[in-house]
Amino acid sequence: MIPVFGSQVGQQELDEIADCFQRQWLGSGPKTKAFESEFAERLGLPNVVVVNSGSSALYMAVVLLDLPPGSDIVLPAYTWLACAQAITLAGHHPVFCDVDQETGNATAETIAVALTRATRAIMIVHYAGLPARMRPILDLGLPVIEDAAHAVDSRIGESACGGMGDIGVYSFDAVKNLTMGEGGAVTVRDPALLARARLLRHSGIGSAGFDASIHSNGLWWEYDIRAAGHRLLVSDLNAAVGLAQLRRLDELQSVRRRVWETYQEAFSDLDWLTRPLDAEPADRHSYFTYAIRIPNRDASARELYRQGIYTTLRYHPLHLNPIFKSRAALPNAERLNAESLSIPLHPNLSQADVAAVISAVRNLPSTWS
């Protein structure tokens, strides 16, 4: 079976993990700090705080905004459920907006019609790695959480996705462009929010243990609890994998881009298939997932599966899930839900895999009855 998503790990990742073993340091420590520093430098960010998952990063981002309890936060319906759950878990209300049919991204226009009297923030997502148009969204005048989980290598001009909103969020799970196995990160511009993010990451403890012993004449083993927070620390084992991946990111991205461009060319003459959009010439795409839109989507997915090609839909529109009690009618998200299909795109694909996918997709109309 040709998988739809995947990461590529090998000797460089093993070498970094072996260094953790040699240091006998498995918890959050030097590898985590090194990753934060190198990641921030690569993306041109002021700082980075690594946590144990992208979902934790989303939750932390909402908490850091310090909004009035029960605030409305507008977000695209066409995204991963952790976006809405982070809002709910932080004591606020997700309000879903539609997305642009061609890009899968929320726009200033789709957000504006979803604003309420209780709206206090916006969450946007760079779907599939294609940058959302940030300037008009920022001009709406509300705090913006910028979810760059798909967009670790995406840019608008010279600005890295995740670095343009008030708080940026990244994900490093097992199938992301840059993986730690599990991990996430936030970036903020405000030094006060940076300090709070680091506090919240460690159960709200200001300082304790070995670090505290270096700077304290008191009883350093006593907890200096300053806030209520979850334990969101990432281990150095995860950070070690992330470090190797970060140093290989250009190599990994070149494979993704080659597969993407091969698909774009191979499907360019099919009038029954809608290809995803490329980034604008001055911008950069991350090529997280290649989502086509086709007729007979469900039957097509089953046929591809029969031929050993795994596909999926990223993502089921959240406003259609009963748990969120939404009454919104969002036609673009709902149409994408009916027509879209992500086909394999990741650095482990061989040329034979890509050729097999292309052949199978091009022949789909012959299987429709």
Q: What pLDDT score does 72 carry? A: 98
Q: Where does the chain have alpha helices with state H?
A: 11-23, 30-43, 54-64, 81-89, 108-112, 134-138, 191-201, 209-215, 236-247, 249-266, 297-306, 331-339, 351-362
- Looking at residue 182, its amino acid is E
Q: Which residues contact 51 (CB under 8 A, 6 or more apart)?
A: 57, 60, 183, 184, 185, 186, 201, 232, 233, 234
Q: What pLDDT score does 146 carry? A: 98
Q: Both ends of the chain: CA-CA distance in Å?
A: 25
What's the topology of domain 249-364? Aspartate Aminotransferase, domain 1 (3.90.1150)
Query: Other CB atoms closer than 10 Å to residue 211's CB: what's the count?
Result: 12
pTM: 0.93
Q: What pLDDT score does 215 carry? A: 56
CATH number belonging to the domain at 11-247, selected among 3.30.70.260, 3.40.50.1970, 3.40.640.10, 3.30.930.10: 3.40.640.10
The rounded distance, in Å, linking the Cα atoms of 240 and 62 is 27
Query: Domain boundaries in the chain?
Result: 11-247, 249-364
The rounded distance, in Å, linking the Cα atoms of 269 and 86 is 42
Question: Residues in the chain with pLDDT < 70?
Answer: 203-204, 207-221, 226-227
Of 129, 366, 117, which is closest to residue 260 (Cα–Cα)?
Answer: 129
3-state secondary structure of 175: coil
What is the Cα 95 distance to its own chain's centre? 20
- Which residues, in sequence order, are bridge partners of residue 95? 74
Q: What pLDDT score does 230 carry? A: 82
What is the Cα 33 distance to its own chain's centre? 21
